[in-house]
Amino acid sequence: MKRMTKMILTVLLTSIIFWNQTENIEATTVLENEQKSIKFRQEFGLNYSTDYLREVVKNKNNESSERKYGVLLTEEEEKEIDRRMEIQTVYLSKIKEKIKEIKEDISYGGLYIDQKNLGTIYIGIKKDLSQAEKEKYLKYLTKDYPYKKHVEFFKINNTIKELDEKKEILINFIKERTNNQIVIVATDYPGQKILLTVKKLNSYDKQLVKEFEKLHNVKVVLQQNKNEAEPVSSRTDYHQDIIGGLRILNTDQGYGKCTTGYAARSSSYNYYAVTAAHCGYAGEYFSQGGSTMGYASSSYNQLGGSVDAMGIYLGSHGRGVDNQTFGSTYLLKYLEQWYEEDIGQMVCFNGATSGASCGVLKSKNITLDYDDGAKQVSNQRAVDGVTVDEGDSGGTVYNRNTLNGIVVAKGSMYDGYYTHARNIYEELGLYPILN
């Protein structure tokens, strides 16, 4: 009888412990989802109060938004974000074509989309225009645009191109005068400034920045690094066809975790899985779903220039390729071109650890340091509103059917960073599988 009582008590205690663990896991998941939702809602100007969010979750009846954008939205909110995407994918290119006709007249410097303000398009101009001139040009630009009140001019001192050039000058300026390590340098076009993060902040660097600002007529925001941009290194089932967003393990480095970005081919029609180059060295083997998928190519592998990317050669390991991204409603059909991307556009990250999350493109010209400054990668993109964690490196960056790139880092200045897929194509010669 005592033995039976002890056995029942043990089972009961085990059940209580398991129930508590399950409850804790569920609570953590709810908290993580809530934080992801808050980030998204802040970036896109939606209601993110805690009470409102809990009401949305309580009345959960629109799960299609989770498949599209990685967060739960009401039907009205999903329609609003769909409208923003229509602006981005349908109308924006038409407005840019019209800008070409008048860019000299207005001294055009670039545009961006303000997602916090209903997707308003802000067109930067250096020329002082009268109110009558502004109205005339806006009437021309928005003739066939259904949201005429949401296109505005704003005055700039530096064009996007000029900011990019001054950013590169700043890097050399600092390196020639101090040993302080530069961690991240970014251009902020809407704010008309350059953001500079260094390893340790000191008075000499502050003095150098003031000198540079006077010489080059640009605002520089200097800050000390709180959390260095870290390469982020956990969809684990076996997949016959390699797609974006799958967990992969570097079996030569103690099963280091990364994510597949997309499937690609070389000019000779050999097939590869594209991921971040910092996930491993040439010749190292990777597994997916408990089975070897291939090895890191030496020919298609680069950590430097404007890419952090490599191809894992699938070879004779029995894997196929497809243009899907795990969990996404959309198939990858288009490769974003450089001229198509704009500050403020929506992009989504899909990593094996964090899943799918969407945010706003904040900068197109970021320089990241790797290995304590031993290597630099320039022309990286920065996004706020996305969730990035260890194991997401190499994950897919996309918006709907368009491939933007692969996840490469997380950091304190912005939520996430990515290498552009067009850069990968140009520098590595790997073309994404898009049909």
Q: So where are the chain's domains?
A: 79-155, 160-224, 228-435
The alpha-helical segments, DSSP class H, found in 386-435 are 421-428
> In 3-state terms, what secondary structure has residue 365?
strand
Sheet holding 108-114, edge to edge: 108-114, 120-125, 151-155
At 46, is the pLDDT very low, low, confident or very high (cuts 50, 70, 90)?
A: very high
The span from the CA of 322 to the CA of 406, in Å, is 16
Q: Which two tokens stand for residue 242?
A: 């390699």
Residue owning tokens 């480095």? 253
- Separation of CA 223 from chain center: 22
Q: How far is CA 297 from CA 33, 269, 274, 371, in A?
A: 36, 14, 10, 21
Q: Is the pLDDT of residue 342 over 60?
A: yes
Q: Report the pLDDT value the prediction gives residue 373, as an integer from 0 to 100.
A: 67
Percent of the chain predicted with pLDDT > 70: 90
Burial of 90 (0-12, 13-18, 19+ CB in 10 A): exposed
CATH code for the domain defined by 160-224: 3.30.300
Q: Report the pLDDT value the prediction gives residue 29, as an integer from 0 to 100.
A: 46
Under 8 Å between Cβ of 405 and 381: yes
Q: How far is CA 76 from CA 19, 22, 166, in A?
A: 37, 33, 43
| Residue range 105-140, pLDDT digits in tens | 999 999 999 999 999 999 999 999 999 999 999 999
Top-confidence residue, 381 or 181:
381
At 379, is the pLDDT very low, low, confident or very high (cuts 50, 70, 90)?
A: very high
Contacts 24+ apart (CB under 8 A), 210-214: 212/170, 212/173
The span from the CA of 390 to the CA of 134, in Å, is 48
The span from the CA of 41 to the CA of 63, in Å, is 16
Strand-pairing partners, residue 357, are 349
Top-confidence residue, 24 or 377:
377
The span from the CA of 421 to the CA of 425, in Å, is 6
Burial code (b: 16+ CB inside 10 Å, e: under 16) for 353-373 equals bbbbbbbbbbbbbbbbbbeee
Burial of 385 (0-12, 13-18, 19+ CB in 10 A): buried
Q: Which two tokens stand for residue 207?
A: 């003095």
Q: Report the pLDDT value the prediction gives residue 279, as an integer from 0 to 100.
A: 94
Q: Is the pLDDT of residue 185 over 60?
A: yes
Q: Report the pLDDT value the prediction gives residue 23, as an integer from 0 to 100.
A: 45
The span from the CA of 198 to the CA of 184, in Å, is 7
| 397, 400, 401, 405: CA torsion to nearest 10 | -10
At 20, is the pLDDT very low, low, confident or very high (cuts 50, 70, 90)?
A: very low
CATH code for the domain defined by 228-435: 2.40.10.10
Under 8 Å between Cβ of 189 and 163: yes
Q: Report the pLDDT value the prediction gives residue 183, as an integer from 0 to 100.
A: 81
pTM for this entry: 0.77
Averaged pLDDT for residues 406-427: 93
Q: What separation, in Å, do the N-terminal and C-terminal C-alpha atoms of the chain show?
A: 68
At 32, is the pLDDT very low, low, confident or very high (cuts 50, 70, 90)?
A: low
Q: Is the pLDDT of residue 338 over 70?
A: yes
